[in-house]
Structure 1
Amino acid sequence: MRAPDRRRTPVMAALRPLATATGLVLAYYLLPLDERVRGGTGVSLVLGLLGVLLLFLRQCRSIGYSATPRLRAVEMLATVVPLFLLLFSAVYYLLERNEPGSFSTSLSRTAALYFTVTVFSTVGFGDIVPHSDSARIVTMVQMAADILLLGVAARVVIGAVETGLRRRDGTDEPPDDA
């Protein structure tokens, strides 16, 4: 790789996920989520999570074939994690719109995003609390998905990076401790 390409690659690796995350947040705030959804919140969550999973798996595969697997992994995580969080934020927002009183306070889009991030980070300030059973179920689903994203997904990404580094360096054998 030429010297200008080596400098450009990390810059692009930083700009692409930043642009993607910005686009996702803009979409979250601009999408017409103000209309009442009839029974579709659960289906939307399941389909959204499947979409995030498929994106994650596709991105992991691309890490293994990338010339810069570490940078590709950072790009992937900077896309998948915001998408994951915004998906739950949208579901919480729609749930509150469809079942007012599902939470201890009415959720704006920002409040829904705030609640999602506090659950994800396990901070749980307690200022927003799920009150309805459906809100509690979605919150439990997010908690379980958070654990999977942080634990299992992290291991999968590390494995993909290791595979990509071995392919790039021409040593396709796994390390001795694998």
Structure 2
Amino acid sequence: MDQPEDGYTVLRLVSALLLVFLVFWWQVRLIGRSSRPGWQGVQALALVIPLFLLVFAQACFLLAWHQPGSFTVSLSRTDALYFVVTVFATVGFGDIAPVSTAARVLVTVQMVGNLLVVGVALKVVLAAVRRRSGTGAPRR
């Protein structure tokens, strides 16, 4: 993703998010085959969540690099990761904020993605673990 901004920038972000989804899907399949599904579920979340955050950190960094003034401060890679994690954690200290329309759209997409990762991904992983370990609701 460390390419100059052009018409393919959004395509690269979507491709990176698709990769995160594929890794997640692969991890859920591994839970179904694992002899230790609980541990595999923890591994899945430990892999997918940081990967998801790194994709958005890179996107924020590149946006700040190619369009200065998109955020209240210029972002280093560390600043971008810090910002993405504060958004993910819903802490929002206010020291970095999106200013431009593109930055606000990117952060809004991340917030919706955060809800999906926390809600849907956690539910899918827990359901796969329960199904594999046999601790789900009794079957009729």
- The TM-score normalised by the length of structure 1 is 0.74
Q: For 1:26-69, what per-residue CA distance to the aligned partner results, in whole angstroms no more than 9, with x for missing partners?
A: xxxxxx83x52323332121111111111101110110110000
Q: Is the 8 A contact 1:103 1:131 kept in 2?
A: yes
Query: Structure 2 matches for 1:119-138, cutoff 5 A?
Result: 119-138=87-106
What is residue 82 of structure 2 aligned with on the other side? 114
**1-side partners of 2:96 and 2:35: how far apart?**
44
Q: Give 1:160's aligned residue.
A: 128
Alignment pair present for 1:146 and 2:114: yes
Q: CA deviation at 1:175?
A: 2.1
4+ aligned runs moved over 4 Å, structure 1: none
Which residue matches 1:14?
none
Report the more deviating stretch, 39-48 or 79-88.
39-48
Following the alignment from structure 2 to structure 1, what is the Cα–Cα distance between the partners of residues 107 and 139? 38
8 Å Cα contact 1:41/1:95 also seen in 2: no
Pick from 93, 102, 105 the counterpart of residue 70 of structure 2: 102
Does the C-alpha gap of structure 1 residues 177 and 147 become closer, same or farther in structure 2, counting only changes over 3 Å? farther
- Is residue 85 from structure 1 mapped to residue 47 from structure 2 by the alignment? no
Q: Residue type of the partner of 1:116?
A: V
What does residue range 50-69 of structure 1 map to in structure 2 within 5 Å? 50-69=18-37
1:44 maps to which of 5, 8, 12: 12
- Following the alignment from structure 2 to structure 1, what is the Cα–Cα distance between the partners of residues 16 and 33? 26
**How far apart are residue 177 of structure 1 and its match?**
7.7
User: Where do residues 21-36 of structure 1 align in structure 2 (5 Å cutoff)?
Assistant: 33=2, 36=4
Per the TM alignment, residue 104 of structure 1 is displaced from its structure 2 partner at its CA by 0.5
Structure 1 unaligned segments of length 5 or more: list them: 1-31
Q: Normalising by structure 2, what TM-score?
A: 0.93
Mapped partners of 2:66, 2:8: distance in 1: 10
CA distance in 1, matches of 2:78, 2:8: 21
CA RMSD of aligned residues (A): 1.9
How far residue 156 of structure 1 moved from its aligned partner, in angstroms, is 0.3
The number of residues matched between the two structures is 140
1:74 correspondence with 2:46 = no
> Is 1:175 paired with 2:137?
yes
Query: Quick one: percent identity of the two aligned structures?
Result: 48
